[in-house]
């Protein structure tokens, strides 16, 4: 992403009005240049795992690449790579809109979901309007907020591992963003739509419920796009990095009332980053209408996951219920040690979270990869 060095007068006075200091404004500018770096800093452990021959089940990626129709469309688009994007982005928005039942005006394409997430935090949080997240959850929203000097409230998940929306509102009744990740990374558990609706109905005016549905296609739960179609103050975040196997191709979408996203684009003027690679756009467009292939991929993941979870159950190893392509295992001993033991078996499992130091997140890989994981569980006598 390229950042301009100057903000418009309108953007500048908006930031000043919302309580940002000169230093904070400098950070807004630099954030748009470093947001991808923030994202890749979080992904660094995964990159480090790319050692040859490792079974990589630590970074919640899909075990395989794009769906065949998407890959074919992307390959064909390379031949017309001399042309700037335009029609492809519109076609993408229309396809998302038809699948999700929202107007095309409510859909925007992005290079993954990290970029819009960073913008949404900058736009709706400030030194006087905080961020509320679950604990544990995906950390990018919190990282951006901390970088900007925004107050962050972290609220433990409920006993059923859904977000505790009432406690989240109570933790900061005047927050700028309430971040709900469902299925949640790393717990792989869902937050019910009635709970999300309650938060939208009770949150302060002008704030946003940011509904991150990165893993929704791996679940059979109803998606939350209908909330955006009702023009509520909610922004739904989607990525093609997970079930669609496009993490390295960078494609995501926001689904929201158009003015909510327009507000996030005023700090970076004439951003060049809004042009997206055609192969990624056409790959996403050709993939997301393939309901049969999406279901087949989800079913394949569920079958592989069930087999491994059955082994863990048989051995009396505790794990959370899983609604995504990963699950949380409680080893009842330091997860870092267990991760190191798996690494010695050439298996890169996921990390732990500070609130859960004895639990590791395991990504569901291919049947072969999970057979290797299962064998290591037995070998390591876990
Ligand atoms: N949201 C969640 C919950 C994630 O787990 C991730 C990545 O792991 C992202 C968003 C960002 O992914 P991307 O920028 O590839 O869309």
Domain at 119, CATH number: 3.40.640.10
* Protein residue with its CA nearest to atom 8 in ligand 1: 60
Q: How many angstroms is it from 10 CA to the middle of ligand 1?
A: 31
Q: What is the position in ligand 1's atom list of the atom closest to the CA of 113?
A: 16
Q: What is the position in ligand 1's atom list of the atom closest to the CA of 184?
A: 3
Q: Does ligand 1 have an atom closer than 6 angstroms to the CB of 164?
A: no
Of 288, 309, 343, which one is at a domain's C-terminal end? 288
Q: Do 318 and 231 share a structural domain?
A: no
Q: Does ligand 1 have an atom closer than 6 angstroms to the CB of 247?
A: yes
Mean predicted confidence (pLDDT) in 166-192:
98
Q: How many angstroms is it from 105 CA to the middle of ligand 1?
A: 23
Q: Do 323 and 309 share a structural domain?
A: yes
Beta strand pairing status for 55-57 and 107-110? unpaired
* Protein residue with its CA nearest to atom 1 in ligand 1: 214
Q: How many angstroms is it from 236 CA to the middle of ligand 1?
A: 13
Of 288, 321, 352, which one is at a domain's C-terminal end? 288
Q: Does ligand 1 have an atom closer than 6 angstroms to the CB of 252?
A: yes
Q: What is the position in ligand 1's atom list of the atom closest to the CA of 60?
A: 8
Between 278-288 and 68-77, two packed helices, what is the crossing angle to 10 degrees? 150
Q: Do 296 and 280 share a structural domain?
A: no
Q: Do 124 and 106 share a structural domain?
A: yes
Expressed in percent and rounded to 5, the helix, strand and coil fractions of the chain are 45, 15, 40
pLDDT given for residue 45 in this prediction: 46
In a domain, 92, yes or no: yes
How many C-alpha atoms does 28 have within 13 Å on its Cβ side?
A: 31
DSSP, collapsed to helix, strand or coil, labels residue 351 as coil
Say which range, 127-136, 148-157, 160-169, 273-282, has the weakest mean pLDDT: 273-282
Q: Do 136 and 222 share a structural domain?
A: yes
In a domain, 325, yes or no: yes
Q: Do 29 and 162 share a structural domain?
A: yes
Q: How many angstroms is it from 217 CA to the middle of ligand 1?
A: 13
Q: How many angstroms is it from 114 CA to the middle of ligand 1?
A: 6
In a domain, 256, yes or no: yes
User: Degrees (nearest 5) of the Cα angle 181, 353, 126?
Assistant: 55
Q: What is the position in ligand 1's atom list of the atom closest to the CA of 39?
A: 14
Distance between CA 34 and CA 295 in Å, rounded? 36
Which domain, by its residues, includes 158?
A: 9-42+68-288
Contact 252, 113 (CB under 8 A): yes
DSSP 8-state assignment for residue 322: -
- Encode pLDDT of 73-88 as tens digits: 999 999 999 988 779 9
Dihedral sign for Cα atoms in the order 76, 78, 81, 84: positive
In a domain, 49, yes or no: no
* Protein residue with its CA nearest to atom 6 in ligand 1: 214
The answer to whether the pTM exceeds 0.85 is yes
- Encode pLDDT of 109-134 as tens digits: 999 999 999 999 999 999 999 999 99
Q: Do 357 and 247 share a structural domain?
A: no
Q: Do 141 and 157 share a structural domain?
A: yes
Query: Ligand 1 pocket test: which of 40, 61, 114, 210 has the largest number of ligand atoms within 8 Å of its C-beta?
Result: 114
In a domain, 3, yes or no: no
Q: Do 233 and 117 share a structural domain?
A: yes
| Number of domains present in the structure of the chain | 2
Contact 190, 223 (CB under 8 A): no
Phi and psi torsions of 229, nearest 5°? -65, -25
With bands split at pLDDT 50, 70 and 90, how would you rate the model's confidence at 34?
very low
Q: Do 274 and 224 share a structural domain?
A: yes
Q: Do 330 and 213 share a structural domain?
A: no
Q: What is the position in ligand 1's atom list of the atom closest to the CA of 138?
A: 3
Q: What is the position in ligand 1's atom list of the atom closest to the CA of 240?
A: 16
Of 222, 256, 288, which one is at a domain's C-terminal end? 288
Q: Do 36 and 92 share a structural domain?
A: yes
Distance between CA 165 and CA 97 in Å, rounded? 28
For residue 15, pLDDT beyond 90? no
Say which range, 80-84, 133-137, 220-224, 304-308, has the weakest mean pLDDT: 80-84
Contact 129, 178 (CB under 8 A): no
In a domain, 48, yes or no: no
Query: Residue 345 is part of a domain; what is its CATH number?
Result: 3.90.1150.10
In a domain, 226, yes or no: yes
The CA distances from residue 143 to 129, 130, 162, 219, 360, in Å, are: 16, 13, 22, 27, 21
DSSP 8-state assignment for residue 349: E
In a domain, 2, yes or no: no
């Amino acid at each position: 992403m390229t950042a301009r060095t100057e903000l418009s007068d309108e953007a500048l006075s908006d930031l000043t009005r919302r309580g940002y200091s000169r230093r904070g404004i400098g950070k807004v500018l630099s954030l748009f240049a470093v947001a991808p770096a923030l994202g890749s800093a979080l992904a660094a452990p995964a990159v480090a795992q790319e050692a040859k021959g490792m079974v990589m089940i630590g970074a919640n990626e899909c075990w395989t690449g794009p769906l065949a129709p998407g890959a074919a469309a992307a390959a064909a688009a390379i031949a017309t790579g001399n042309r700037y994007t335009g029609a492809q982005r519109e076609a993408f928005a229309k396809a998302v809109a038809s699948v999700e039942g929202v107007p095309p005006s409510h859909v925007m394409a992005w290079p993954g979901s990290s970029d819009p997430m960073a913008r949404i935090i900058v736009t709706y949080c400030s030194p006087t309007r905080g961020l509320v997240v679950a604990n544990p959850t995906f950390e990018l929203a919190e990282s951006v907020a901390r970088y900007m000097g925004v107050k962050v409230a972290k609220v433990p998940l409920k006993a059923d591992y859904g977000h505790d929306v009432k406690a989240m509102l109570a933790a900061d009744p005047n927050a700028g963003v309430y971040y709900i990740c469902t299925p949640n990374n790393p717990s792989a558990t869902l937050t019910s739509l009635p709970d999300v609706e309650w938060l939208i109905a009770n949150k302060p005016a002008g704030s946003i419920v940011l509904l991150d549905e990165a893993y929704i296609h791996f679940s059979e739960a109803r998606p939350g796009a209908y909330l955006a179609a009702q023009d509520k103050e909610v922004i739904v975040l989607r990525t093609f990095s997970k079930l669609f196997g496009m993490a390295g191709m960078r494609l995501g979408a926001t689904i929201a009332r158009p003015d909510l996203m327009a507000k996030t684009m005023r700090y970076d003027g004439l951003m060049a980053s809004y042009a997206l690679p055609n192969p990624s756009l056409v790959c996403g467009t050709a993939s997301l209408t393939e309901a049969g292939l999406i279901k087949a991929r989800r079913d394949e993941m569920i079958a592989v996951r069930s087999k491994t979870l059955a082994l863990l159950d048989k051995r009396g190893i505790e794990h959370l219920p899983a609604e995504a392509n990963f699950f949380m295992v409680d080893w009842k001993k330091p997860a870092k040690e267990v991760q190191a033991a798996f690494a010695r078996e050439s298996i890169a499992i996921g990390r732990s979270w500070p609130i859960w130091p004895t639990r590791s997140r395991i990504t569901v890989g291919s049947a072969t990869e999970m057979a290797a994981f299962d064998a290591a569980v037995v070998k390591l006598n876990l």
